[in-house]
Amino acid sequence: MMASKAEILVRPTRAPAGVTLPARDTRTGRRRCRGFTLIELLVVMAIIATLLSIALPRYFGSVDRSKEVALRQDLKTMRNAIDQFRADTGRYPKNLEELVTRRYLSEVPPDPITDSATSWVIVPPKDAKLEGVYDVRSGASGTAQDGSNFQEW
């Protein structure tokens, strides 16, 4: 037996057992879909902004601190390689690439502050009779977190 169109529209729909249907709007009879209100969204955004304002300065501070530690380590490694070269050959290397070709370094490390391997400042020996790389310093301008200049390290 076929139901009429009027019966289909009026007949209440039943959900399967254990499933609840959304509530109906009393004015229009349509089902209401629940969502977040604008105020709820604004509260969540405010909480996220507060957490970010606390976390980001610590993150960027730790990034700067890690670059400084890497710079100190790279300088120490290159200075040790220069000293070993001097002890082995009796002279200073002509440039940093000579340390790489002679395998005292696997590569010239990039300056962590400037992100460039060509920004190192070569310090010649104090004795005018000698030539080559006596010391190496960072080419980065600026100061570290302890107040010292990168170029003085």
Phi, psi of 25, rounded to the nearest 5 degrees: -70, 130
Position 10 pLDDT exceeds 70: no
Position 60 pLDDT exceeds 90: no
Position 152 pLDDT exceeds 80: yes
Position 21 pLDDT exceeds 80: no
* pLDDT tens by residue, 94-113: 999 999 999 999 999 999 99
User: pLDDT tier at 17 (50, 70, 90 boundaries)?
Assistant: confident
Residue 81: how many other CB atoms lie within 10 Å: 21
Q: What is the pLDDT at residue 2?
A: 60
Q: Please check whether residue 22 is in contact with residue 32, taking contact to mean a CB–CB distance below 8 angstroms.
A: yes
Range 101-110, long-range pairs (CB < 8 A, 24+ positions)? 105/77, 105/78, 105/81, 108/78, 109/74, 109/77, 109/78
State how many domains the chain has: 1
Position 57 pLDDT exceeds 90: no
Report if residue 125 sits inside a domain: yes
Report if residue 22 sits inside a domain: no
If you average pLDDT over residues 68-90, what whole number do you get?
96
User: pLDDT tier at 5 (50, 70, 90 boundaries)?
Assistant: low
Report if residue 21 sits inside a domain: no
Residue 55 domain boundaries: 38-139
In sequence order, which residues have a C-beta less than 8 Å from that of residue 139 and are 6 or more positions away? 111, 114, 116, 119, 120, 121, 151
Report if residue 50 sits inside a domain: yes
Position 143 pLDDT exceeds 70: yes
Q: Which amino acid is at 41?
A: L
Cα 107 from Cα 127, distance rounded (Å): 28
Phi, psi of 40, rounded to the nearest 5 degrees: -60, -45
Report if residue 17 sits inside a domain: no
Q: Which residue has the higher pLDDT, 64 or 6?
A: 64
Report if residue 13 sits inside a domain: no
Global pTM reads: 0.66
Q: What angle do CA 143, 147, 149 make, to 5 degrees?
A: 40
